[in-house]
Structure formats: C-alpha cells, structure tokens
Amino acid sequence: MVQSSYRKVKEEVFHLKRLTLKPKCLDVMAGGLVVVLNAVYAQQNDIYTGYRVILRRNRRELTAMVDLSNDLVKAGEIGLFEEVSKALGGPAHGAVELELTSRPQSIEYIKAKLDGHTLSTPQIRTIIDDTMGNRLSEGELASFMTACYIRGMNEDEVVGLTQSIVATGETLKIGKSPILDKHCIGGVAGNRTSMVLVPIVAAAGCYIPKTSSRAITSAAGTADVMETLCQVSLPIRDMEKQVRSIGGCIVWGGAINLAAADDKLIKVRNPLSLDPKGVLLSSILAKKKSVGAQYCVIDIPVGRGVKLNDMTEARSMARDFISLGKRLGITIESLITNGEDPIGNGIGPSLECRDVLAVLEGSGPHDLRDKSCQLAGTLLELSGKAKKGAGYAIAASMLDNGKALAKFKQIVEWQGGDARKLNSHSVPIGSCHHRIIATRSGRVSHLDNKLLSRIARACGAPLDRGAGVYLHMEKGDMVKAGAPLMDLYAESEGKLEVALKVFNTYEAVEMEKVVLDSLRE
C-alpha cells in the first residue's frame, strides 16, 4: 500500500513538472520520437535519460523520449530530431512546452505477455492506442513483437489485435454487395495475379477494392507494377467512388488511412524479419476488414525459397484464416499453391506488367493465367456468382471474351492512366540488355525466387520500372547448351554490370545433368 501511494504521488509530480524551452532543430533522423536536453539542466529539473515527456507547440502535441547531452544543446534549449520537428509543424520559430508524464499502462501488459500471460482485448487495444499516440518507444514496441513471437497468440488475442488495428484507421463504405478481396502471403517472384483477378471479378458483377503493397525485398509489388500504367495513390473517397461505379480498383494501401497501426507494427518487424504468426494474421485480416470484405481468398504459396516450405505449417495457417474469418464476419477460402518457382516470365515492374496485359489479351504465361483463374473462380463461387466447380470456367471466359481486358482498361483510365493504345508491347522496358545463355544441356530443376528477385533488384527494380529479369524457361524444361535462359534489362550499363556480377555469384537456376542424346530423342 505504501509503495502504491508513493507511485501515485510521484506520477502527480510528473504531471506538474512543466518547462518552456527554446527549440533547436537537429538535422538528423533518430528513428523514433526523441528529444535532447542539456544534461546538467535536465538533472536540475529531475529529468533523466529515458523519461517520457509531452511536447506542445502551436496546438500540436506528441509524446517523446528524453536523451541528454552537454554538447548538442544549452540549458533552456530542447533539441528536436527531424521526426519530432516535423510532427510539431516543422522548424518554425516558437517555444516548446515540455511536461513530464508517467510511463503508459501498456508497458505492464507487454511485460505480462513476455511472461507468458494471455492478453485481453482491452489490454491489446491499450497497447495499440499507445502505439498510435507515440507513447511507446520502438524498443518497447519491439518487445511486444518479440513477446508475440516467443509466446505465441491464441485466437482471442488475434481477433482482439485485428479489431484494434482496424479501429485505428478509416473503413471503406462502398454500399454495394458482394465485396470481395484477395491476399497472397508472398515470396513468389512475378506473382501478379491480383492485376488479372480484379478485372475478372469486377467484370463478373462483383466489387473488389484491392489495396496492394510496394516491394520491400522483392523486385516489384503489385502497386509498383500498376504504377507503370496509372496512379495508385488515391484518396479514400475517390477509391469508394471508383469501386461503386466500375466494380474495382488496384491501389497502394500505404497511401490510404486503413488499419493505420499496421504500418507502425510492420516498421518494427522488418529489421529482424520478425513475423509472429498471430501478428501476421492480424495484419492481413485487418486490411480485409477495413475495406469491408465479405468474401476473401488467401493464396498460401509453399515450397523451397518462399516464406513457407512446410506443408503442415501451411495447412495450419489455412485453417487459422478460415476460423478467424468466421469470427470477423468474412467468409474465407485458403488455397495452398506451389511456390517453388516464379509465376510468369517477367520479374520487375514493366516486365510483370507486360505479362499481365498479355494474359488479359488472351495469351501470356500459362501459369499466370491458370493461377489467376483459380483464385478468381474461388471468389466467384464463395460469393454465389458461380456454382460450385464452375468458377474457373467463368473466370476463364472473362479473359477469352475480352470483358476482363475492357474492365482493366476502365480501371486504368479511372486512375489517371491512358488506356487507348495500351497493350502488352506498349509498356517500355530498360534500354540496356544482356542475354544469359545456358552453358550446358540439362533439365531445369529449380528457379530460386529470392535470388532471381535479387538479380532483378541489382538491375534497378523496382525504382527503375523498366529494369528486371525475363525468363525463357521454367522448372522442368529441357534446355540445350547455347539456349537462352533469361534476359536482363536495366536503364544503365553500370547497373547491368552489377546485375551480371550478382548472377555469377549465386546459382539462381539449378539444372540436372543429362546426356545430349536424350535431348535429341
């Protein structure tokens, strides 16, 4: 009881401590919300490293962590790193009011999770609210991610986290039905099924507000590929109007305030490639819930070189998506697909875009067409637009009769692009080119998704839209010595040379040895 009373008194003192300080902008990014005080001055005011403070200036307010220095700032000054300066309205003149505050309750919940306790939905919501209010340091938020990774999350916690993330952003209000969506957990190079699926589904009379990501470690994300043709950063109200009017859109999710807390959690997870299963499930499902999805198909690629290489783990994840979807009001079907080699021929924004357009035109890579029709057909069956077992045929018919291509061009036009002369050959690619030739005969036994993406990135993708890799073979093909394996495209000779060095360093294409006579047969 004495200790509790002491803590209460101390917190009240914290809230009474207020200082008015002269800002000094530090032209450096700290990687978080951090301010610097003069060490002697701070200690005279009972402020120490790691303390939390509330900052106010020009009607703006934020919470930051304190660091101390006798060199960077003088007594009565406050050093503002770039992130804090921007959050307070930029380097404009004006005193900064500082108020000491106690640490948030969510830290106790994070410690409880580290100790193996299950968190309630209100406790999870408090953590997310403190995250959005910048009341948690990156280290504390990383501890939460670590706790979820080590201790795991039960279904109640995943649902609670999903609902908490959804509550931090806006939600789409299309006012139409059925609302469909699709997601792939990633890892497969060239896997641009969304750009084929969306126009198929919209042409079939459904509504699909597709938000997609940009590349992080891959050669292109769907948003990067779509951006070769039109805008992908749309205001949320424009997105609603577009989907309501023509049935679909393909936009960058990062430009829209949907499930806003997810971006902060991703920023913490990325440096260590830390993907706690429960947090990954929440991240995906929060985006689906935010766009109002009623039906959703999840693509789970499995195999060597992708995120999941264990079939048991893939089946478990598939069941989790279906079960969680029921609790969140979303009917979900999970498809476990082969992720052992790339989909399509192109790897890189423009090259992948050419593949998509070729499929929409009625030709193109057979594996991209087939997988897109599988996913689209499943969605059509889930939503009742197709009878059980008939979805694939309806999806394929939308490609064959040209309705999907017409719908795609309509989407491009709505998003500010010019679709009048758009075709699979009109998308420009890199002017610098080098062909990789097979040095011996054999059967292609493996194409490494990660290494091929690394080569394409060395070419300049995704920032250089025309850069990347074009494959002339796929797993299982027989090739003779001297036959083309792949073409490298870049927008400068220097990047092409770097890409060749990367290709020669790693074995992105593995081949089985065969005797030449067997090839002649």
Residues with active-site annotation: 275
Distance, CA of 35 to CA of 26 (rounded, Å): 9
Do residues 377 and 392 lie in contact, with contact meaning Cβ atoms separated by under 8 Å? yes
Distance, CA of 306 to CA of 186 (rounded, Å): 8
Q: Is the peptide bond before 462 cis (omega within 30 degrees of 0)?
A: yes
Do residues 47 and 13 lie in contact, with contact meaning Cβ atoms separated by under 8 Å? no
317-343: b (≥16 Cβ within 10 Å) or e: bbebbeebbeebebbbbbbbbebbbbb
Question: SS3 sequence, 114-157?
Answer: HCCCCCCHHHHHHHHHHHHCCCCCHHHHHHHHHHHHHHCCCHHH
Distance, CA of 319 to CA of 331 (rounded, Å): 12
* Closest C-alpha among 453, 449, 475, 473 to residue 462: 453
Place of tokens 């429960």: 278
Looking from the CA of 142 toward its CB, the CA atoms found within 13 Å total: 12
Distance, CA of 243 to CA of 228 (rounded, Å): 21
Tokens of 395: 């999806």
Q: Is the peptide bond before 235 cis (omega within 30 degrees of 0)?
A: no
* Continuous H helices in 204-276: 222-226, 236-246, 260-269
Question: SS3 sequence, 394-426?
Answer: HHHHHHHCCHHHHHHHHHHHHCCCCCCCCCCCC
Looking at the DSSP bridge assignments, the partners of residue 101 are: 52
In which order are the strands placed within the sheet that holds 484-490?
346-347, 468-471, 484-490, 432-437
Torsion sign across C-alpha atoms 452, 458, 460, 463:
positive
Distance, CA of 352 to CA of 504 (rounded, Å): 23
Q: How many other C-beta atoms lie within 10 A of the C-beta of residue 414?
A: 21
Write the DSSP symbol of residue 103: P
Q: Which SS3 state, helix, strand or coil, does residue 376 take? A: helix
Distance, CA of 176 to CA of 423 (rounded, Å): 31
